Amino acid sequence: MDVLSDVIVAMRVGLPSSSHVTRHAPWAQRFPSLPGSAGFQVILQGSCWLIPEGGEPIPLSVGDVVFFPHGHGCVLADSPSTPVPEHDCDPGEETALFAAAAIAGPGAATVTLCGGYRLDDGRSHPILRDLPDLIHLPARLGHHQELRAAIDLLATEIGNPRPGADTVVASLLDMLLLFILRAHIDARPERCQVSGWAAALADPGISAALDAIHRDPAHPWTVQSLAARAGLSRAAFSRRFSTLVGQPPLTYLTWWRMGLAGRLLRTTDARLSEVATRVGYGSEFAFANAFKREHGLSPGRYRRESC
């Protein structure tokens, strides 16, 4: 897989959840902080206000997308002056793959599409850690067309489920997360002001090296061979990779391999020798030593304790 696709597969645990909600004014709803999760809200009809934790109210209108990569809480309301109920939105209500709900009232309707993802806290990818607490993507004509298309498809599928909806909705939710991340990276200021993983993905050479690692993690990569992929000298590549990614090339390669190995141990019955081969180790012994250094547990014990 390419980098972004791989990261989404690696960081999400279990199935995502989503709901299509119609609220009639006056209304206000509090969404609690949920560490180890990420969530989004999309305004499909009408308008409302987002009141982030410790922040100023933000007006939202049709097509706006807000994303909370670190599970921070917020309030959504028809107006900043509407009283907020004492009770939070029950997270248990958000665990369905897709659901629909309506809140009655005498005023104008606001329709939202919301969703959530459970994340692997123990192996959070630096792409995610680099993201701000809140990403707001205002609707702008002609911008992020693939994101808008995914939203339209998802809203249609949730609003009118048909045979195969479970598979369609789960796939669209992953697509939506990918498109949100793409849109955020594309919406950053001028490239000279971009730093961290946004800059790494925008840099043709470093992006090519990362893509090579993620597409073939078992390959016997060296700094020199990755530098060749990047079209840079060994020294220039190593320096630029470390600056943008936050780790030297081979340190990141090992970290990613061990994360992939952990996922294989948790989710498959593959033998240890097979897992070792799939992440680039020629012997179980070498693999087990590397795995224990990274995770603090032997592969066998990790698998047993993850069940």
* CA 118 to centroid of chain Cα atoms: 9
Position 4 scores a pLDDT of 82
* Contact status, residue 215 vs residue 2, Cβ threshold 8 Å: yes
How far apart (Å, rounded) are the C-alpha atoms in residues 62 and 49? 12
Look up residue 93 and give its DSSP letter.
G
> Within 10 Å of residue 116's Cβ, how many Cβ atoms?
21
What pLDDT digit, counting tens, does each position of 179-230 carry? 998 888 877 654 444 567 878 888 999 999 999 999 999 999 999 999 999 9
Position 192 scores a pLDDT of 41
Residue segments in the chain with a per-residue pLDDT below the cut of 70: 1, 87-95, 121-123, 188-195, 307
Position 201 scores a pLDDT of 85
* CA 200 to centroid of chain Cα atoms: 17
Position 95 scores a pLDDT of 57
Position 104 scores a pLDDT of 83
How far apart (Å, rounded) are the C-alpha atoms in residues 69 and 40? 8
Residues facing 193 on adjacent strands: none
Q: How many CA atoms lie within 13 A of 299 on its CB side?
A: 26
Contact partners, residue 49, CB within 8 Å, separation at least 6:
57, 58, 59, 60, 76, 77, 78, 79, 80
How far apart (Å, rounded) are the C-alpha atoms in residues 306 and 41? 32
Position 160 scores a pLDDT of 83
Q: How many CA atoms lie within 13 A of 294 on its CB side?
A: 22
The structure tokens listed for 275 are 């897992």
Position 247 scores a pLDDT of 92
Residue 34: closest CA among 68, 9, 10, 80: 68
Report the predicted TM-score, pTM, of the whole model to 2 decimal places. 0.82
